[in-house]
Structure 1
């Protein structure tokens, strides 16, 4: 029995060494340059990285991974697992504005994880070498470009004594928070969640053989849980083949995604709801005429609210290319549960919940929620009253709690947050539960996610903490009152969730309203990589607060939607 993904990689490299594990579309186009890693080559490169780490006594320590999109990250990640080193995926610095954000996040993660080594691409390592004098965080940390580790190093590799409770990697959940939290994912968590993904998505041996092992096409970032745990690790778990390309290439030309699905004909491919909307915006007749999506069986949709209207439109628009409504596959998961919690039934259309009476199979126009499917095998899902901590009857909305072997160990070096989030208990239930902070209901064994108990803002698949956006906004101009700004997201229909900032300004500063608004947009965009949909300046003392002075973001959002904010506008010019 496999103890880890390392054992499975070893078996695949022995049993089918020449099978392609991963192919990478360098330009994002099927007719461009393509790089491939066979299982034999993947094992060699992973062992070379592992041996390099072992020879330097790094087993048990943390290694930050800073690779640009491509195959080097996969070899480095599996190399860490093969050495008994804890991998810490990070976002590599790239581009001028991205560089500042990535460096800031890198420093925070490096300090929190207490990383002893950075593995990265040549360009990233070279840039860090050049910045070493200005980055005291790099003192005493080894930097190595994994491309420079020779294949011959693999001969010195020693299989690690890895058990299910040993830490495999840290998945940092925050996209912008000043206090990042690393989810501690063990080797046992990884294997269990691979079992959940395999069962829920119908990745049976017979299906994989019927697809000639072409399992995934993915553009998702591999340093995020959805892109890593799903397309990358489920592929090596099953000894299949995945086709990957850069998220940037997808955003530049969304048509590349359905084109790659049409060319390689995988069983499974997906992304957040916004990705389907982007494809719809670029679905011209020329694109549809050249596609064949008939082999696409699981079009997973997760990481942000799944929208009934998006599902309907995608099925309708891409039907002429062979896409079937039954392939639509809403799912639910989170890093704290390694990844997948619930998923749809392969070959069945999504269940929609009617707004009026909670009846399943509502029409799209009347749908209040989309089913995210059923829990995976061994996964327990409960809907709980968040204050009373009592399980609620079927059909009632409460906080989603999750139990099972996929639930991670906790937050790295954060005992308080671990106890609050990972140690919840219910009467008559033996297992401990993870409090997700998400709201939903259960009906007929299916989970419907209806909102968020927490204030986390999720836009285009990225997480943003409102307090970070609020601080950035308040620092842009002296007329903005400290502690009197609210950031939240609003559902704008087809455009999805978008960020809104409401800020109080001092009296007699209305003449600078337009300038202040522009400053806030620019600052939030630069610091967080987030386009603010709307900035609203309001009169002093009008943003709702609790009795203890805390901003009531939910009440502010309600006032914004209802149009009842005390808006301050610049005076008209004579």
Structure 2
């Protein structure tokens, strides 16, 4: 029985050395340059990296991974695991607009994890050499481009003594409501969650054979848990083949995602809700005519609120290309649970519950059933008592995938990972997410800390954001932030900040009126302020989640880039 993914990599390299583990679309296009790595080659490269780390006595220490999208990240990550080194996936600085944010996050992670070595691609490592002024923290830290490690070093690799409790890596949370924290993920956590993913998504041996082992197509960032634990590591867990390409190439042309699914015919592929919205915007007749999506079995949708309207529109738009509504697969997970907790039944349409509005587009979407081994309890966060079916409370979890805790943060670990619940044995993870159970299905309704209380009623910001985004086509999907501010004697009042295309500046007044009307009709709320801003204004986490608190702060400080506002200076 495998003790770790390192064992499985060795097994696959022995029994199926020539099978392609990963292919990478270098330009994002199926007819462009394609790089591939077999299981034998993957094992050699990973063991060479591991041997280099072992020679320097780094077992047990932390290595930050700073790679551009591509196959080298996988070799570096598995090299760390194969050496008993704790991997810390990070976001490499790239481009002036993202440089400050990426450098700030990198500094935080380096300090918090006490990083001893940085592994990355050649260009990234070279760029770090020019950043001594910005990053004095680099002093004393070895930086290495893993492409420069010779294959011959693999011969001196020594298999590490790993147990289920050995720390595999630190998955830093995206920080949507707080500063990023390092989630301590063990080898046992990884193996259990890969089992969960395979079980819930129907990744059986029979399915793999039927799909010629083509498992995923993914553009998801590999430094984030959804892209790493899902497509990258589930592929390794099962000895399958996955096609990867850059998130940037997807954002530039979302049709590349669907074209890659058509060409490589994987069983599973997906992303956050906004990805489906972007694909819808590029669903031209010409694209649909050339697509065959009939083999796409699991179209997973998670990491942010799943919209019933998006599911309906996507299924309708791509039905002519063979896409089936039964493939839609809402799911729920979080870094503190390694990744996946619940998912739908493969081949069954998503379960929807009508809300009070009576419109199908506003229906609550089930994120499916818990996998075997998970206990999911809905709990009153104040009284810490379990609630009955149908009542909204905080989602608490217990299972072998729950991580050890937060890195070097005893207080936060005790608060989140050590909860007890009357009538249940063992410790629970407090997720900070709100939801309810009905007939065994989990419905996620929002974040506890983002909850808005207006006139004594609870309102979820994502509900207001959806109503706003549906009010006018100029509003960018997944780029609206709702929050409340103190209205004095009138109490808390909602504010909407929404990104629109600059060419819509002439329609600002009309769009603002439509948003106010939509919020009033759907939620019975008067809106204190509607602010239309330029694309890229709203703060997001590294995984693309709206940072409502940061947007609220920018609103109160008057630092938002408002459409139609005179230029500063």
The TM-score with structure 1 as length reference comes to 0.82
The match for 1:161 is 161
Q: Following superposition of structure 1 onto structure 2, how do residues 217-296 of structure 1 map, counting pairs within 5 Å?
A: 217-296=217-296
SS in 2 for 1:432: coil
The match for 1:335 is 335
Say if 2:492 is the partner of 1:498. Answer: no
The match for 1:423 is 418
Aligned-residue offset at 1:102: 1.0
CA pair 396-127 structure 1, distance change in 2 beyond 3 A: same
2:304–2:545 contact (8 Å) kept in structure 1: no
The match for 1:565 is none
Q: Unaligned stretches of 5+ in structure 1?
A: 458-486, 506-513, 538-542, 544-550, 557-568
> What are the Cα deviations for residues 73-98 of structure 1, in whole angstroms up to 9, with x where unaligned?
00000000000000000001110121
SS in 2 for 1:310: helix
Aligned-residue offset at 1:290: 0.4
> What are the Cα deviations for residues 487-544 of structure 1, in whole angstroms up to 9, with x where unaligned?
9763334534612578899xxxxxxxx9xx9999799569979999999x9xxxxx9x
Say if 2:380 is the partner of 1:385. Answer: yes
> What are the Cα deviations for residues 433-485 of structure 1, in whole angstroms up to 9, with x where unaligned?
1111111111111101112212399xxxxxxxxxxxxxxxxxxxxxxxxxxxx
Aligned-residue offset at 1:140: 1.0
Q: Following superposition of structure 1 onto structure 2, how do residues 264-413 of structure 1 map, counting pairs within 5 Å?
A: 264-356=264-356, 364-365=360-361, 367-413=362-408
Counterpart of 1:452 (choices 447, 451, 454) is: 447
In structure 2, C-alpha distance between the alignment counterparts of 1:255 and 1:136, rounded to whole Å? 42
Task: Show structure 1 runs of 4+ deviating over 4 A.
Answer: 175-178, 500-505, 517-535
CA pair 456-57 structure 1, distance change in 2 beyond 3 A: farther
The TM-score with structure 2 as length reference comes to 0.82
In structure 1, C-alpha distance between the alignment counterparts of 2:285 and 2:133, rounded to whole Å? 54
1:101–1:527 contact (8 Å) kept in structure 2: no
Q: CA RMSD in A?
A: 3.1
2:539–2:547 contact (8 Å) kept in structure 1: no
Aligned-residue offset at 1:368: 3.1
The match for 2:430 is 435
CA pair 531-267 structure 1, distance change in 2 beyond 3 A: closer
Aligned-residue offset at 1:174: 2.7
In structure 2, C-alpha distance between the alignment counterparts of 1:171 and 1:101, rounded to whole Å? 18
CA pair 103-115 structure 1, distance change in 2 beyond 3 A: same
Say if 2:116 is the partner of 1:116. Answer: yes
Say if 2:82 is the partner of 1:87. Answer: no
Say if 2:131 is the partner of 1:128. Answer: no
> What are the Cα deviations for residues 143-188 of structure 1, in whole angstroms up to 9, with x where unaligned?
0001101111101100000000011000011357884210000000
2:213–2:240 contact (8 Å) kept in structure 1: yes
The match for 2:495 is none
In structure 2, C-alpha distance between the alignment counterparts of 1:523 and 1:270, rounded to whole Å? 23
Q: Unaligned stretches of 5+ in structure 2?
A: 453-459, 471-476, 488-504, 506-529, 557-563
2:538–2:547 contact (8 Å) kept in structure 1: no
Aligned-residue offset at 1:346: 0.2
